[in-house]
């Protein structure tokens, strides 16, 4: 067990509550499709570099008729970064101690007309405290109306809160989710933000409300898109397109994704970290 202060507890509770709401919605979609698929939850713990308790998390995984593979993970960890890694983390250059709590999810869909999706929301503490995260849509077969709908919900979340800046966060997502060696984007974007810094309880509450609203926007947008497309017929060529696109997704997550690196560098659960990888993919 690790001791948490009031802000850390509030952030963790927010992420766990959001996890429960998302998992319930995914299971409801599976039931609507005639499937009895449910999430399997696997708790894990980690020691920090000194061998002291370093927290842990719960991996949630569902494999069903609609969600070929979807994971919704929550973790709450603390400890010390390695000397080398601490130099790359905001506020840890001279003090390697850290705390992090967050939710991370990826959904790879059975039907290529249904977009895959990613969301991560996190609260990090070093010598500084901040929120970061975002959500982005990853359709193998893009539909402009689906992209516009997803972005509209993210815009509403940004527009309703002082730290929200849709134009900046949308551009940030486009830049971050770019695959340089392919010279293509990973998907059709969304929002990405980092270093929403906490100065006091007021700024904490303001930023937490924004992050929570991003979760609400995800819950409004993504399940609606799944229900809209999950019964669409598809061809073998469209499935091939999906599998090739998944290869690009895997390349990004293994080569460039900062969340994957953070998990590996801090002794996280390997299965939970690599949950983001698709169940099937091809390279041609």
CA 265/CA 82 separation, integer angstroms: 8
Q: If we measure between CA atoms, which residue out of 180, 179, 178, 174 comes closest to residue 193?
A: 174
CA 186/CA 200 separation, integer angstroms: 36
Q: Spot the catalytic one: 108, 113, 118, 151.
A: 118
CA 131/CA 89 separation, integer angstroms: 13
Reply yes or no on whether 161 is catalytic. Answer: no
Catalytic sites, residue numbers: 118
């Amino acid at each position: 067990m690790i001791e948490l202060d009031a802000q850390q507890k509030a952030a963790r509770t927010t992420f766990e509550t959001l996890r429960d709401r998302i998992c319930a919605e995914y299971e409801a979609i599976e039931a609507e499709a005639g499937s009895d698929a449910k999430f399997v939850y696997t708790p894990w713990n980690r020691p920090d570099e000194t061998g002291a308790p370093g927290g842990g998390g719960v991996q949630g995984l569902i494999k069903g008729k609609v969600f070929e593979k979807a994971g919704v993970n929550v973790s709450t960890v603390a400890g010390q970064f390695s000397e080398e890694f601490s130099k790359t983390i905001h506020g840890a250059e001279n003090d390697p101690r850290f705390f992090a709590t967050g939710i991370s999810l990826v959904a790879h869909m059975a039907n290529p007309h249904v977009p895959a999706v990613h969301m991560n929301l996190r609260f990090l503490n070093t010598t500084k405290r901040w929120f970061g995260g975002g959500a982005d849509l990853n359709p193998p077969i893009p539909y402009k109306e689906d992209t516009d709908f997803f972005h509209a919900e993210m815009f509403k979340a940004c527009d309703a809160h002082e730290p929200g800046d849709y134009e900046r966060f949308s551009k940030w997502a486009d830049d971050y989710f770019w695959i340089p060696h392919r010279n293509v984007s990973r998907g059709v974007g969304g929002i990405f933000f980092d270093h929403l810094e906490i100065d006091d309880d007021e700024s904490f509450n303001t930023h937490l409300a924004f992050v929570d609203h991003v979760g609400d926007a995800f819950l409004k947008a993504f399940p609606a898109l799944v229900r809209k497309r999950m019964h669409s017929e598809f061809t073998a060529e469209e499935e091939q397109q999906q599998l090739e696109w998944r290869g690009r997704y895997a390349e990004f997550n293994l080569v460039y994704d900062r969340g994957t690196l953070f998990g590996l560098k801090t002794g996280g659960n390997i299965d939970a970290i690599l949950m983001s990888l698709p169940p099937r993919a091809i390279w041609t």
